[in-house]
Structure formats: C-alpha cells, structure tokens
Amino acid sequence: MPKPPTITERKLGKHQAIGLCWNDGTIEIDSRLKGKKRLEIVCHEIIHHIAPEWPEERVLHGGRIMGNALWKQGYRKTDS
C-alpha cells in the first residue's frame, strides 16, 4: 500500500484538468473547485494513487460513489 498522498491546490487550466495524480505521490486539485465536486475529485485522484492500474471508468465510478457517501455524512472543506 502506498503512503498517503500530499494534496496541493493550484489552477490546472493549462493541463486541461481539474485533478492530477503524479507518480511521486502528489495530488493536485484545481483551486477553483468547490463543494461536492471538489470532494469527488479528491476521492477520484486518491483512487488513482492507490490503484493506478484501474481503468479510468472504474476510477470515475469509485470517485463519485465515495464523494457522494462522504458528502451525505457531512464532510466539507473548512478554512483551517
């Protein structure tokens, strides 16, 4: 099992992406994402980190399920 990723935020428009998972264990999330979509993308990129062999369709599905479940449980980003 890989180590937990380091998650950072920045605008990713030049990459035409809203989330990226790099081989060095870094995940980048577009800083313009908010709310439930942001949570889903974080989950999506974490799945890429822990299961890089999964096809994109499976990662998309898993990220949506995980993001929705966490959102329903009240998980939100806070400014702390």
pLDDT at 63: 98
Q: Which of 55, 26, 13, 20 is nearest to 41 (CA)?
A: 20
Please tell me the distance from the alpha carbon of residue 21 to that of residue 58, in angstroms, as a whole number: 16
pLDDT single digits (tens) 35-57: 999 999 999 999 999 999 999 99
Give the pLDDT mean for 65-75. 97
User: pLDDT averaged over the chain?
Assistant: 95
Give the pLDDT mean for 15-23. 96
Place of tokens 């400014």: 79
Name the burial class of residue 60, with classes exposed (0-12), middle (13-18) and buried (19+) by CB atoms within 10 angstroms of its CB: middle
pLDDT at 78: 86
pTM of the model: 0.93
pLDDT at 80 over 70: no
